[in-house]
Amino acid sequence: MAQQGNVGELLSMLDSPILGVLEDITAAFKDNLICDRGPMLVNNLVDYYLETNSQQALHILSTLQEPHDKHLLDKINEYMGKAATRLPTLSLLGHVIRRQPSWKHKLSQAPLLLSLLKCLKTDTDVVVLTTGVLVLITMLPMIPQSGKQYLHDFFGIFGRLSAWCLQNPGHVAEIYLVHLHASVYALFHRLYGMYPCNFVSFLRSHYSMKENLETFEEVVKPMMEHVRIHPELVTGSKDHELDPRRWKRLETHDVVIECAKISLDPAEASYEDGYYSVSRKLCTSLKHHQTDPSASYYVDTQSSYGTSTPYSTPRLTLSQMPGQLPQILSPQSIRQSTEPQQVTIWSPSAVCGMTTPPTSPGVVPSESSQSASQPYSKAFGTSGGKGTPLGTPATSPPPSCTSDDFVHVSLPSAAATPSKKEDKPDTGRPLLYRQQNVINSDKSLDTPSSKSSVTLSDLPEFLGGLSFEDSAEKDREEDAISKEISEITTDAEHMVPRGGFDSPFYRTNESLSGSQKKTHSVASSVQGHSQTSEPLTSSLDKPGPESARETPKQTFTPIDKPCGGSGESPAGNREGTSGETSIRTPSPYKVPAQRGVVSGSGQPPLYEHLFEVALPKTAYLFVGKKTEELLKKAKGTQDDECVSSTSPVEVLDRLIQQGADAHTKELNKLSLPSKSADWTHFGGSPPSDEIHTLRNQLLLLHNQLLYERFKRQQHALRNRRLLRKVIKATALEEHNAAMKDQLKLQEKEIQALKLSLQKEQARYHQFQEEHENIVAQLHSQIRQLQHDREEFYNQSQELQTKLEDCRNMIADLRLELKKANNKVCHTELLLSQVSQKLSNSESVQQQMEFLNRQLLVLGEVNELYLEQLQHKHTDTTKEVEMLHAAFRKELEKAKLCVQQQSQRLDASQKRIAELECQLAKKDHLFLEQKKYLEDVKIQARGQLQAVESRYKAQKRITQAFELEILDLFGRLEKSSLLKKLEDDKTEAAEAAEERLDCGNEDTVAGHSEEINGRNGETKPPSTRGSSSSKGGSSSELSTPEKPQNQRFSSRWEASVLLEPSTAVPLTVGSLPSSKSFLGMKARELFRNKSESQCDEEGVTINRLSDALKTELYKDPSMETKESSVGQLHIMDYNETHHDHS
């Protein structure tokens, strides 16, 4: 409880005016929150906030950390249920959410969301609804993937609210409806951007119903005219767009930008992807269309709203509707126009609830009021002094001031173009941008026509005068700062005309970008300058046909970027001029130009294009360094900015809230009728609910403002990210350039190396040639030397042959020498032999002499003995002795003889043995011989058999022949006999002879048959005999012939006996003779062959042959005797043959 009390105290102290206490309290709260995890403190804070609407409490609540979120959400949910506290709760929720707490993802699960949706579905309070819708819109990008389950709730809410806008069931003030409509429009954008497929299908199903048709026609359809076809409608599907994976990659600001991209509304859209030209055209034409017929101030103010709020559609509807609203609002706008350019704390934008930061209105008037000759520092100072009554930091104005300064400075130089000046008085109103345009065109003119020296020289001087000696760097710092407050600058730009002229703001806005484009086109080509300048001016003069004129401008867009950047951002322009003008090629300015246009359409990311303009130049000398510095600065300023940017907003909020009371007085004077067009009540006291309405309106505006601020923050976030990417890209480009340089260097090096290589090669070739020459020389030398060597070799060979000859000669001589030696030796030997012989012969002679002498002596002795013998008788003893000796000698002789005999015996015995052996061998040999002989015999027998069979065959042949011959003879004779018989016919003998003939014939036939039969019988024995009588025994041989002879002879005899006639016996007789002759032949042959074997047998044969002869002799004799027929030839032949044999 103590704590409870403590908390109460703390809460009471929370709003103390003393700053120190405030900080302490805040710190204490934060400590408490860190220590305490219970819901109590948070609940107390929420209660306190709802009670007092304390900013400090709000601040603490909106920065709550993780563990307390649940309590906070629960508490909010709790209060949400109560209708009384709903609105502040919602605004609290909005504050908390816009802070983007780290626990934002939990929102989707929180019951709070459900109750919010429920509230939106059921509540009838427009203010609550509008606030709730804005909260929802803010929340949607934070919880994209969880939106799935509530998708139909969202769509339902959209349907309900869109219908509400039209039907106005609560009959609330129209002004609320405007707010509601705006928020519905935002919801439409968000839903369409996030879930196009689902949303479109919802729209299809929802508005196909008849009761909703009107709503569609009146509310939704105009909204749809401000969106382009979402790409997801083509590529995606219902499920795909709800896929968490799709959302995972996108952060909150990504989602916001995604939604902005598909919008065609210049106030809402983001033209990052080059859609801008189309969208711009569309929106501008739309605007013209709207403005031209109505030409009311209200529309103008609306268009000024348009920079922040998407009011194009409501505008349209409102303009068509009975002009209640314009009437209501017109006093405001009139009042705004009546106090133009006034340097007051009171800015029209604040009154209108514009998103424009409060600083800008202060700045813009200062700009316009300042003279051209005023130095920059002064402008800075004045702007600071004038522009910060609301606590705006003094840093914000510089960019606009500088741009202003620049404009002024360049104004005199722009005098060179009279046509422009002429235009100036004509237009009159858009002076500022006109001047800018002039300058820009001038600039662009100068640069291409190489007159940039003037401006270049002028600029530094002027800048020097502005105490910007370190111009570029400082400027860039300024730029960085200016980027941080990009919103301010952009708004300032837009504000200028609005504040300065009572003419429609949209045109300034429009013509600003348009003129920029034109100037770019001018810059692009000198020749086309004059032509393009005219349409430029005319378009400025006549807003009506501008839409038509837009098209030619669009054609120039590719080239005309740079000046847009320069026009928009004087710093960038200055960079360009101070750096180098020649860099201003169209390509690098392309992106900046687009950015410029984007910024012109009211989108915050202005500083981006500044950077873009600045960065390409960093490619020069101190590029990298600068970028780094710049980055650092940017970061630093960003940090600073976080504090500085929020504070004025808070101030503004407070201002609006606190100043509402004071403002009511003036409102009373102005008499703003709420429900009807009470123009007559002007100056009368307004009804009490009017104040309420205004308050609510204010609240709504505040909500709107907060929503827009949230959006702006998202954009800023995104811009920072993009900036980082850009920086990275630039760094990479730098890197690339450096690499290219390196590459070039290396290429040079390579070329140098190639050159040296060629040189080296040439040298190498030279060396090679030299080497070859040397080699050739050496070769020739070698050849010569070889030649010499060969010669020497030949010589040596010759010498060697000579040497050989000499050696041969020496050998010959040696041989001769040897021979001679031999001869000598031989002769010596001979000599010695001869000498020996000589000595021998001498000794022989001596012996001879000695023997002769002995002979003589012995002769004398012999004579002596003879004398003694003669003197004496023969002595017997001596004889006996002599005999003995003789016998003995004989015995010895005999013995010797015996010995000899025995030896001979032995020898002979041996001889006998030898001979026996030889005999055996011989016997063996004989056996072998016999065997061989047998063999040979067998062989011979075989051959002989063959011969014999041949012989037999021959015999058979002969027999056959003979038979044939006989047969033929027989026939011949028979025929001749028949003739004879016919000749010597005697009748008596005829018959008998005929008879005989017949018988004879028969007998002859029988004979032949007999012979045949006999032959058949006799032959086998004969063959048998011949085969058996190999040796050829005579007896056996003779036997076959004899019987034949006998047989034939007997036959012959028989025939003779039978018939002693002539023919037959003769023929028969001849046969044996021939037969015998053949037999003789055979015998002779046989005898010749086997004569040696059978000599004895030959005798018998002879005898037999003799016998045969006798027989044969007999036969012829008989034949001769008995026949006179000349058949003797054969016989004779036979005889002679026999004689011969």
Partner 1 sequence: MADDSQRNFRSVYYEKVGFRGVEEKKSLEILLKDDRLDIEKLCTFSQRFPLPSMYRILVWKVLLGIIPPHHESHALVMKYRKEQYWDIHHALRVIRFINDSTPQVDVFLRIHQLESGKLPRNLAFPLEPEDEVFLAIAKAMEEMVEDPIECYWLVSCFVNQLNSKHKDSLQQLPKILEQYLNIEDNRLLMHLKACAAMSKLPYDLWFKKCFAGCLPESSLQRVWDKVISGSCKILVFVAVEILLTFKMKIIALNTAEKITQFLENIPQDNTDAIVSKAVDLWRTHCGTPAHSV
Kindly list the residues in this chain that would bind partner 1 in the complex (CB under 8 A): 935, 938-939, 941-943, 945-947, 949-950, 952-954, 956-957, 959-961, 963-964, 967, 1008, 1012, 1015-1016, 1019
Counts for the chain of helices (H) and strands (E), in that order: 45, 0
Distance CA 139, CA 129 (A): 15
Q: Which residue's CB is nearer to partner 1, number 323 or number 1025?
A: 1025
Contact 424, 431 (CB under 8 A): yes
Dihedral sign, CA of 714, 720, 726, 732? negative
Cβ contacts of residue 539 below 8 Å, gap of 6+? 511, 514, 518, 545, 546, 549, 550, 553
The full DSSP string for 600-613 is HTT-S-HHHHHHHH
Q: Smallest gap, in angstroms, from Cβ of residue 1082 to partner 1?
A: 17
Q: Which residue's CB is nearer to partner 1, number 587 or number 954?
A: 954
Intra-chain end-to-end CA distance of the chain, in Å: 197
Q: Which residue's CB is nearer to partner 1, number 819 or number 956?
A: 956
Q: Which residue's CB is nearer to partner 1, number 692 or number 1024?
A: 1024
Residue 117 identity (one-letter amino acid): L
Q: Smallest gap, in angstroms, from Cβ of residue 1130 to partner 1?
A: 21
Contact 697, 680 (CB under 8 A): no
Contact 157, 117 (CB under 8 A): yes
Q: Smallest gap, in angstroms, from Cβ of residue 1030 to partner 1?
A: 15
Q: Which residue's CB is nearer to partner 1, number 20 or number 1016?
A: 1016
Q: Smallest gap, in angstroms, from Cβ of residue 1016 to partner 1?
A: 7
Distance CA 462, CA 454 (A): 12
Q: Which residue's CB is nearer to partner 1, number 825 or number 965?
A: 965
Q: Smallest gap, in angstroms, from Cβ of residue 1012 to partner 1?
A: 7
Distance CA 665, CA 672 (A): 12
**Cα 536 versus chain centre, distance:** 59
3-class DSSP assignment, residue 13: helix
- Count the helix, strand and coil residues of the chain and give each as a percent rounded to the nearest 5: 85, 0, 15
Distance CA 12, CA 998 (A): 204
Q: Which residue's CB is nearer to partner 1, number 766 or number 1027?
A: 1027
Q: Which residue's CB is nearer to partner 1, number 169 or number 1013?
A: 1013
Q: Smallest gap, in angstroms, from Cβ of residue 1060 to partner 1?
A: 29
Cβ contacts of residue 781 below 8 Å, gap of 6+? none
Q: Smallest gap, in angstroms, from Cβ of residue 953 to partner 1?
A: 5
3-class DSSP assignment, residue 227: strand
**Cα 1105 versus chain centre, distance:** 128
Q: Which residue's CB is nearer to partner 1, number 453 or number 949?
A: 949
> What's the angle, vertex CA 332, arms to CA 605 and CA 388, rounded to 5?
50
Q: Which residue's CB is nearer to partner 1, number 544 or number 942?
A: 942
3-class DSSP assignment, residue 985: coil
Q: Smallest gap, in angstroms, from Cβ of residue 1007 to partner 1?
A: 13
Rounded to 10°, the helix 418-427/527-541 angle is 10
Q: Smallest gap, in angstroms, from Cβ of residue 960 to partner 1?
A: 6
Q: Smallest gap, in angstroms, from Cβ of residue 997 to partner 1?
A: 22
The full DSSP string for 526-565 is SHHHHHHHHHHHHHHH-STTHHHHHHHHHHHTTT-HHHHH
Q: Which residue's CB is nearer to partner 1, number 451 or number 952?
A: 952
Q: Smallest gap, in angstroms, from Cβ of residue 996 to partner 1?
A: 25
The full DSSP string for 1011-1039 is HHHHHHHHHHHHHHHHHH-SS--HHHHHH
Q: Smallest gap, in angstroms, from Cβ of residue 1075 to partner 1?
A: 16
Of 45, 71, 48, 72, whose CA–CA distance to 60 is shortest? 45
Which H or E run includes 69?
helix 69-81
Q: Which residue's CB is nearer to partner 1, number 1008 or number 1029?
A: 1008
Q: Smallest gap, in angstroms, from Cβ of residue 928 to partner 1?
A: 15
Q: Which residues pair with 263 in a beta bridge?
A: 227
Q: Which residues pair with 620 in a beta bridge?
A: none
Q: Smallest gap, in angstroms, from Cβ of residue 956 to partner 1?
A: 5
Cβ contacts of residue 276 below 8 Å, gap of 6+? 594, 597, 598, 601
From residue 968, how far is each of 961, 962, 973, 1078 by CA, in Å? 10, 9, 9, 21
Q: Smallest gap, in angstroms, from Cβ of residue 957 to partner 1?
A: 4
Distance CA 177, CA 157 (A): 15
Q: Smallest gap, in angstroms, from Cβ of residue 1041 to partner 1?
A: 17
Q: Smallest gap, in angstroms, from Cβ of residue 914 to partner 1?
A: 35
Q: Which residue's CB is nearer to partner 1, number 418 or number 1016?
A: 1016
3-class DSSP assignment, residue 263: strand
Q: Which residue's CB is nearer to partner 1, number 335 or number 941?
A: 941
Q: Which residue's CB is nearer to partner 1, number 832 or number 954?
A: 954
Q: Smallest gap, in angstroms, from Cβ of residue 1065 to partner 1?
A: 23
Instruction: Classify burial at 785, counting beta carbons within 10 Å of its beta carbon; exposed 0-12, middle 13-18, buried 19 or more.
Output: exposed
Which H or E run includes 11?
helix 2-14
Q: Which residue's CB is nearer to partner 1, number 883 or number 953?
A: 953
Distance CA 256, CA 707 (A): 12
Q: Which residue's CB is nearer to partner 1, number 947 or number 992?
A: 947
Instruction: Classify burial at 473, counting beta carbons within 10 Å of its beta carbon; exposed 0-12, middle 13-18, buried 19 or more.
Output: middle
Distance CA 723, CA 719 (A): 6
Q: Which residue's CB is nearer to partner 1, number 800 or number 1015?
A: 1015
